[in-house]
């Protein structure tokens, strides 16, 4: 571990020196890239340096203990005990900081929610999840922008795509991908029988323009009149935009805005995100299989989480975590769930790192 830490410290010092050169400072893109790399190493290097400092103090205290002065020896023994505790704490911090970070953790998010099996009740549940994640994002002071929304009857949602912008959005929401199952008595059920329905959630890291370059020759843009509610100006002008990415066949449509320019900007944002996800799948098929396995087909049996209304219970089946604050969770209070998932998967990564040594 310490050889690796020494190597990382060397890289950190190289980046510090490089950032001070006129060549890097005159190139905004390279400056941002190296500044980001430096920031990512900052906490690890500072903790490692604190650890080395404590190691030096321990060596000095041990030398005093070997000396002949009884009074100094007693003071050194007392100090040594505190120093050993500090060293253990810093060693634990270093192990956590060495756990590989997801490079997408600081990215914004494209959140997709779709009604699964269960008809109208599934659409109503998808609407509940949409409200839950929107409120959670608002509590984090993140910006929420609805990219597309297909409504169902009785206030339900067939599918919705939402852009969520905020620091660490992906790191907090990435474990929400999968099939969410609900058990409750629908408002339309006269006999009081409990129904089971499902909705799927997919959390995708949003792509920046520097990640995915979309060339004009690779896209076809069509405009058309928007459909649905919105008034005369929406339904009679060619403000809606459909972008087809010719090499992949990916099609994105946007019609929520009255402005064709705004709809085009939104559509390009969604397209870049979907192309970025496709690129990630090509780079790492194992991750792709895991994600598809999590989201599945929307069948109830593939659930990662169950929302049981009669028992006011929410259970995450991946980590055997249960809370009886169902309404609070649906109101956007996801901190306990998100925290439990993050702790679990961080511990798993730490175990893998430890076993690999």
Residue 260 sits in the same domain as residue 346 = no
The domain containing residue 124 runs over which residues? 109-207+285-355
**Is residue 309 one of the residues assigned to a domain?**
yes
Residue 289 sits in the same domain as residue 202 = yes
For 310-347, the pLDDT digits (tens) are: 999 999 999 999 999 999 999 999 999 999 999 898 88
Residue 185 sits in the same domain as residue 299 = yes
Residue 23 sits in the same domain as residue 94 = yes
**Is residue 104 one of the residues assigned to a domain?**
no
Residue 59 sits in the same domain as residue 156 = no
SS3 35: helix
Residue 89 sits in the same domain as residue 136 = no
DSSP state of 312: T
> Of the residues 239, 263, 283, which one is the last residue of a structural domain?
283
Mean pLDDT, 10 residues at a time, the chain of 357 residues: 83 90 88 86 90 90 79 82 90 81 85 90 95 96 91 89 92 94 83 89 78 79 70 60 88 82 85 80 53 47 88 95 96 94 86 66
Residue 161 sits in the same domain as residue 117 = yes
DSSP state of 174: G
> Of the residues 258, 283, 308, which one is the last residue of a structural domain?
283
**Beta carbons within 10 angstroms of residue 5's beta carbon:** 19
**Is residue 180 one of the residues assigned to a domain?**
yes
Residue 179 sits in the same domain as residue 141 = yes
d(CA 109, CA 114): 16
Sheet strands (E) in 116-194: 143-151, 157-165, 178-184
For 202-243, the pLDDT digits (tens) are: 998 887 655 677 888 888 888 887 665 544 444 556 778 888
Give burial (CB, 10 Å; 0-12/13-18/19+) of 68. exposed
Residue 122 sits in the same domain as residue 224 = no
Q: What is the pLDDT of residue 122?
A: 93
Number of structural domains (the chain) is: 3
d(CA 72, CA 55): 19
> Of the residues 71, 98, 125, which one is the last residue of a structural domain?
98
**Is residue 139 one of the residues assigned to a domain?**
yes
CATH code for the domain of 225: 3.30.160.20
CATH code for the domain of 347: 3.30.70.1660
Residue 55 sits in the same domain as residue 184 = no
**Is residue 103 one of the residues assigned to a domain?**
no
Cβ-contact 78, 65 below 8 angstroms? no
Look-up of token digits 């190597």: 7
Residue 118 sits in the same domain as residue 89 = no
Q: What is the pLDDT of residue 285?
A: 55
Taking alpha carbons only, the member of 135, 179, 187 closest to residue 156 is 187
The total number of residues written for the chain in this structure: 357
> How far apart, in Å, are the Cα atoms of 109 and each of 22, 114, 118?
35, 16, 27
Residue 155 sits in the same domain as residue 46 = no
**212 φ, ψ to 5°?**
-125, 115
| Cβ partners under 8 Å of residue 73, min gap 6 | 64, 65, 67
Look-up of token digits 């339904």: 235
């Amino acid at each position: 571990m310490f050889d690796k830490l020494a190597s990382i410290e060397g890289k950190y010092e190289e980046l510090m020196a490089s950032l001070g050169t006129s060549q890097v400072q005159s190139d905004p893109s390279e400056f941002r890239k190296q500044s980001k790399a430096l920031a990512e190493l900052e906490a690890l290097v500072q903790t490692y340096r604190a650890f080395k400092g404590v190691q030096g103090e321990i060596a000095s205290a041990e030398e005093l203990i070997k000396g002949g002065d009884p009074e100094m020896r007693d003071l050194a023994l007392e100090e040594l005990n505190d120093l050993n505790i500090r060293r253990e704490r810093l060693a634990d911090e270093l192990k956590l900081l060495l756990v590989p970070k997801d490079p997408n953790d600081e990215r914004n998010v494209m959140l997709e929610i779709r009604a699964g099996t269960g008809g109208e009740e599934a659409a109503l549940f998808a609407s509940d999840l949409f409200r839950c994640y929107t409120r959670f994002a608002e509590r984090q002071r993140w910006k929420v922008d609805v990219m597309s929304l297909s409504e169902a009857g009785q206030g339900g949602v067939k599918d919705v795509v939402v852009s969520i912008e905020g620091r660490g959005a992906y790191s907090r929401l990435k474990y929400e991908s999968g099939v969410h199952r609900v058990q409750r008595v629908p408002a339309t059920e006269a006999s009081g029988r409990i129904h089971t329905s499902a909705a799927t959630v997919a959390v995708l890291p949003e792509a920046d323009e520097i990640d995915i370059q979309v060339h004009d020759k690779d896209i076809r843009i069509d405009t058309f009149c928007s459909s649905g509610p919105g008034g005369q100006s929406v339904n009679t002008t060619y403000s809606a935009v459909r972008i087809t990415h010719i090499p992949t066949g990916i099609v994105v449509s946007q019609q929520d805005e009255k402005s064709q320019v705004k709809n085009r900007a939104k559509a390009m944002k969604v397209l870049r995100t979907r192309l970025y996800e496709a690129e990630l799948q090509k780079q790492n098929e194992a991750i792709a299989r895991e994600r598809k396995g999590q989201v599945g087909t929307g069948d109830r049996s593939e659930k990662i989480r169950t929302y049981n209304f009669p028992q006011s219970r929410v259970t995450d089946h991946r980590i055997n975590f249960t809370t009886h604050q169902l309404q609070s969770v649906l109101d956007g209070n996801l901190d306990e769930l998100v925290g439990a998932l993050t702790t679990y998967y961080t511990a798993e990564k730490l175990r893998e790192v430890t076993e690999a040594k």
